[in-house]
A and B are shown apart, each in its own frame.
Chain A
Amino acid sequence: MSVEHIIGKSVPRKEGRDKVTGAARYIDDMTLPGMLHGATVRSQIPRGVIRNILFDPRFDWNEFVIVTAKDIPGENCIALIGDDQPCLAEGKVNHPEEPVLLLAHADPHLLRKAVDAVSIEYEDLPAIFTIDESECRSQLIWGTDNIFKTFLISKGDVDSVWAKADYIVEGEYTTGAQEQLYIENNGVIAVFDVVQGITVWGSLQCPYYVHKALMALCRLAEDKVRVVQMETGGAFGGKEDYPSMIAGHAALLAMKSGRPVKIIYDRLEDMTATTKRHPSRTRHRTAVGRDGKILGGEIDFTIDGGAYATLSSVVLSRGTIHAGGPYYWPHVRIRAKAVATNAPPHGAFRGFGAPQSLFAMERHMDRIAQVVGVSPIEIRRRNFLKPGQTTTTEQTIREEIDLGRLLDRALELSDYTAKKERFAKEKAGPIKKGMGIAAFLHGAGFTGSGERYLASVVGVEGCADGSVRVLVSSTEFGQGTNTVLCQIAAEALDLTYEDVQIAQPDTNQVPNSGPTVASRTAMVVGNLVRSAAMGIKQTLIAAGTLGGSYSPEEFRAACRDYISEHGQLRSLARYDPPAGVFWDDREYRGEAYAAFAWAVYVAQVAVDLSTYTVKVEDFVALQEIGRVLHPILAKGQITGGVAQGIGFALYEKVVWQNGRMQNGQMTNYIMPTSADLPQIRVFFEEMGNPHGAYGAKGIGELPMDGPAPAIVNAVEDALGVRFDSVPLLPEDVFEAVSVGVEG
């Protein structure tokens, strides 16, 4: 391998200067002349028939732009996958905070009062709020059986293993909803022009998702919809599909009024009305041999999708495929389903189903260890996947990953063994300490045939001044898209990092490189950037203006010359699925992901039994990620993801009442502050990846999978009490330890 000069270096963040000087422009920093503010009138009940909409006569409603479902030129839905989610409720509402109508006015304060001055009368219908209620079908709220989607993974012959088992271990594990809590709330501005069509600027992850949704909603052709991503203040999946809804609303108001319309949510509206992580319930029943080896098992994985299907089928898919963890299952049956409840639809949040099913798997491994009478270390070591073995979907592990050695390294970095022994002896006093581990994998890129279906296209072009520009619809929202893709192009072309820029994602300017999700940007899109960059280099070489080796100045000169002669220097690269990679969508079998990253995380906790609070005192995050493209960005991704995982485990509880989030404020939805987190110690290994740019694997979501099970495993180690649910709050610890202490 040749020595890279930019890949592997922590070059300055491309848009970093703007961010530290306050120059970065987020959607609420933007205004347009004549702009109106838009707002949404939402349902206050979880389910019912709309009987009447009343407008308080003390307002002059002629001053307002009012949009209802009747104003929708195209389909009243947010086009995504199943297309069952209305843009505006028509006749019926199926969750609290469901949008019913839209208002716009130039005065945002008057607008706020006007929203409260619209009252909706309903005939209430019975509503359901939990997975159990949905399953028992006392109310059918979606389709014929409340089920959005099911999957079945079947490997080997599970029914044959029970008789041979020395142990049968069962467990049920649940995870709650989690709010993405990007610090910048959702917002968009829309403009409509009869000739140009709709233009939307917004805080978003996937410009082309919004583009597709607006085409269908507004009945406009492809070239009459333009979507531009502004600087985006955090997303984590919460701005994957939701922006299509808010953009649709702003577009409708813009079309009706002929004026630009800005919709910005405040924190309360954002928290109560937009997507969350799917709550989950996983049931394991595992046949285990005397030596602790898994003989086979059944896994039942269910997620709560809220009122409409939206992304639930894909979240379910990923959760299902990851449900078996990094272990070898000779036989397994995984039954998975996504069910409907009367809550705002749940959606994408970093990890996308995997944190849920991996929480269960890693808790269950500790359970198996107890039953068998070996340590949590040993049980994992004996069951780890080895090269040549197949996963639950019968994907052969082709790389020389040695999970036992990864585990050993994590144990050494965390001083696990010595600490565990010491803590077991330190019984006196109210502070009980414990150690816990989680071993896991995370598949990067879209599942199975997903990347083929996306058929991403990337462009790299030369500019008139000799610099190079990357053209992708992949968005920056903190994870480093701009930086890494420019690094890749600069590396591929032997230029300096400063020679390469990246275009603002604008569907008029950039091709569709796919959504910025699934940890695919560095790995998949990066590879296409590399190809497209090579493309313009080939063009210049073929034109005779560039030799095989050259300096950056020579490249820039050749680029300038070529453009002045030909007008444009651009190369497009389209995703080409690797040969020999098969995925069967019907049987859910085959190569689920082009690459897995592997990890072992270790948590050290201290439980204070005077207050029942759990503190994470030390955290080691060790992962194999193919190639570290940018050390600071990579470390930042892991640290940030672990912090969110710690929040998922110990702090972040959504309090529900009748399908509505009750704690929709930052005072009451608790995310960790700087005073709550330990130093998160991050370590990498690099084994390369033939399918990823410069050997990289996707890492954005990986760190979300490990913290919750590692921490809960550590708490059980500290207290000797079982917890099978997150978030694990002090009140839950109290209830568990006080059983039997008082009457």
Chain B
Amino acid sequence: MTTSSDNRGKCEILLTVNGKPESVRVYPMERLLDVLRHELGLTGAKEGCGEGECGSCSVLMNGELVNSCLIPVLQAAGANLTTIEGLAHGFQLSALQAAFLECGGAQCGICTPGMILASRYLLNKKPDPTLDDIREGLSGNLCRCTGYTQIFDAVAEAARRRDPA
């Protein structure tokens, strides 16, 4: 939890990021996106719009998909965060990452970290999604390159792999 030294200045905030405890000394109104990128060097989350429309800043906070550009870091104190950097196990890509690679789900790649995390969140809730479920689950992540079709293919493929039966 926070140990607030001075309301007017920075405070120490403890987070768990990709399983690792982190402590940052930041202003409480720093955006979580900026803390991830600048304090923790986790540049996978991107700023595409700064207003929670494009989803390229999405991360998982306590397992929930959120737009990190809209979260003051104080509200993430004590939270468990998952970023794109936390999905692969060493050299082994997650099923989603591998599927995005194989199905053409990533073109320019800038929406990809957020898109993969949104897909992960969707599959956590609906391991066997219909096409409409996928459409809805990703409707907060804008992609300008793909027209979405191959992203849907990737998510469907990853769903198939997690449940090979």
- Partner-B contacts on A (CB < 8 A): 10, 12-13, 15-26, 28-29, 180-185, 231-236, 266-267, 477-480, 632-633, 635-636, 639-644, 665-667, 671, 673-675, 677, 679-680
Residues of B with C-beta under 8 A to A183: 46, 48, 54, 56, 108, 110-111, 142-144
Beta-carbon contact of B116 and A20 below 8 Å: yes
Q: Are B150 and A632 in contact (CB under 8 A)?
A: yes
Report whether A181 and B147 are in contact in the complex, using a CB–CB cutoff of 8 Å.
no
With a cutoff of 8 Å between Cβ atoms, the chain B residues found around residue A665 in the complex are 49, 51, 53
Residues in A neighbouring B79, C-beta threshold 8 A: none
Q: Which of B46-74 contact A (CB under 8 A)?
A: 46-51, 53-54, 56
Task: Give the docked Cα–Cα distance between A24 and B108 (Å).
Answer: 10
How distant is the Cα of A16 from the Cα of B106 in the complex, in angstroms?
7
Among residues 97 to 136 in chain B, which have CB atoms less than 8 Å away from a CB atom of chain A?
97, 100-104, 106-113, 116, 134-136
Query: CA separation between A10 and B146, bound complex, in Å?
Result: 16
CA distance A344 to B157 in the complex (A): 44
* CB–CB A677/B148 < 8 A: yes
B residues engaging A (CB < 8 A)?
37, 42-51, 53-54, 56, 83-85, 87-88, 93, 97, 100-104, 106-113, 116, 134-136, 138-152
Given contacts A478-B107, A671-B144, could you give 19 more A-B pairs where the C-beta distance is less than 8 Å? A15-B109, A20-B97, A20-B109, A20-B116, A21-B97, A28-B43, A233-B108, A234-B110, A267-B48, A635-B150, A636-B147, A639-B147, A640-B146, A640-B147, A643-B147, A666-B48, A673-B142, A674-B151, A679-B149
Task: State in angstroms the CA–CA spacing of A280 and B155 once bound together.
Answer: 39
Q: How far is the CA of A569 from the CA of B113 in the complex (A)?
A: 38
**Cα distance, A478 to B110, chains bound together (Å):** 9
Task: Name which of A266, A673, A674, A677 has the most chain B CB atoms within 10 A of its CB.
Answer: A674
B44 contacts which of A22, A181, A632 (Cβ < 8 Å)?
A: A22
The reply to whether B142 and A643 contact each other, CB–CB distance below 8 Å, is no
Cα distance A93–B51 in the bound complex, in angstroms:
31
| A234 and B108 contact, CB distance less than 8 A | yes
How distant is B19 from chain A, measured CB to nearest CB, in Å? 15
**In the complex the two chains form, is B83's CB within 8 Å of A22's CB?**
yes
Checking B54, B109, B143, B145 against A666 with a beta-carbon cut-off of 8 angstroms, the contacting residue is B54
CB pair B50 A16 closer than 8 Å:
no
Q: Which residues of A contact B53 (CB under 8 A)?
A: 665-667
A37 to B149, CA, bound (A): 38
List residues of chain B with CB within 8 A of the CB of A22.
42-45, 83-85, 113
A296 to B42, CA, bound (A): 61
User: Are B107's CB and A640's CB within 8 A?
Assistant: yes
* Complex CA–CA separation, A29 to B49 (angstroms): 16
Q: Are B110 and A184 in contact (CB under 8 A)?
A: yes
Within 8 Å CB of A26, what residues of B? 43, 46, 110
Q: B46, A267: Cβ atoms under 8 Å?
A: no
CB-CB < 8 A to A235: which residues of B? 108
Q: A267-B49, A636-B150 given as contacts; is B103 within 8 A of A19 (CB)? A: no
Q: How far is the CA of A343 from the CA of B46 in the complex (A)?
A: 30
Q: Which residues of B contact A477 (CB under 8 A)?
A: 108
Question: Nearest chain B CB to A123's CB is how many angstroms away?
Answer: 35
What would be 24 A-B contacts, judged by CB atoms less than 8 Å apart? A21-B84, A21-B87, A21-B97, A22-B44, A23-B44, A26-B43, A26-B110, A28-B43, A182-B144, A183-B48, A183-B111, A233-B109, A267-B50, A635-B104, A636-B150, A639-B146, A641-B147, A643-B148, A665-B53, A674-B134, A674-B143, A677-B147, A679-B149, A680-B147
Which residues on the A side are within 8 Å of B152 (C-beta)? 674
Q: How far is the CA of A319 from the CA of B147 in the complex (A)?
A: 25
Which label, helix, strand, loop or mixed, suits the secondary structure of the B interface? loop
A181-B48 Cα distance, complex, nearest whole Å: 10
Decide: B146 and A12 in contact? CB cutoff 8 A: no
Q: Residue B101 contacts which of A20, A181, A480 (CB distance < 8 angstroms)?
A: A20
Pairs of residues from A and B, 7 with the lowest C-beta to C-beta distance, nearest first:
A22-B44, A233-B110, A478-B108, A19-B109, A643-B147, A478-B107, A22-B84
Shortest CB distance B38–A (Å): 9
In the bound complex, what is the Cα–Cα distance between A644 and B142 (angstroms)? 12
Query: Whole-angstrom distance between the alpha carbons of A387 and B55 in the complex?
Result: 49
A28 CA to B38 CA, complexed, in Å = 10
B79 to chain A, nearest CB (A): 19
CB closest chain-A residue, reference B105: A20
Shortest C-beta distance, A250 to chain B (Å), equals 19
Q: Which residues of A contact B100 (CB under 8 A)?
A: 16, 20
Given A12-B102, A21-B84, A29-B43, A671-B150 contact (CB < 8 Å): no
Q: Which residues of A contact B145 (CB under 8 A)?
A: 234, 478, 636, 640
Given A233-B108, A640-B147: A666 in contact with B101 (beta carbons within 8 A): no
- Give A408 to B22 CA distance when docked, in angstroms: 62
Nearest B residue to A645 via CB reads: B147
Residues of A contacting B110 in the complex (Cβ-Cβ under 8 angstroms)? 26, 182-184, 233-234
Bound-complex Cα distance A478 to B107 (A):
4
- Complex CA–CA separation, A21 to B104 (angstroms): 15
In the bound complex, residues from chain B placing their C-beta under 8 Å from that of A643 are: 146-148
Distance of B114 from chain A, by nearest CB (Å):
9
A261–B70 alpha-carbon span in the complex (Å): 27
User: Are B51 and A666 in contact (CB-based, < 8 A)?
Assistant: yes
**In whole angstroms, what is the CA distance A29 to B99 when docked?**
25
Give Cα A22–Cα B138 distance, bound, in whole angstroms.
18
Bound state CA distance, A263 and B32, in angstroms? 22
Contact present for A184 and B104 (CB under 8 Å): no
Q: Which residue of B lies closest to A682 (CB)?
A: B149
Q: How far is the CA of A477 from the CA of B109 in the complex (A)?
A: 8
Q: How far is the CA of A20 from the CA of B54 in the complex (A)?
A: 17
Least Cβ distance of B142 to chain A in Å? Answer: 6
Complex alpha-carbon distance, A20 and B84, angstroms: 8
Of B49, B116, B135, the residue contacting A675 (CB under 8 A) is B135
Which of B46, B51, B138 is the one whose CB lies under 8 Å from A674?
Answer: B138
Q: A644 contacts which chain B residues (CB < 8 A)?
A: 144, 147
Task: State whether A21 and B146 are in contact (beta carbons under 8 Å apart), knowing that A184-B46, A267-B49 are contacts in the complex.
Answer: no
> Hey, which chain B residues are within 8 Å of A266, CB to CB?
47, 50
For the complex, what is the distance from the CA of A83 to the CA of B53, rounded to whole Å?
Answer: 37
B128–chain A nearest beta-carbon distance, Å = 18
The answer to whether B104 touches A632, judged by C-beta atoms less than 8 angstroms apart, is yes
Is the pair A633, B109 in contact by a Cβ cutoff of 8 Å? no
- List the B residue with the shortest CB-CB distance to A20: B97
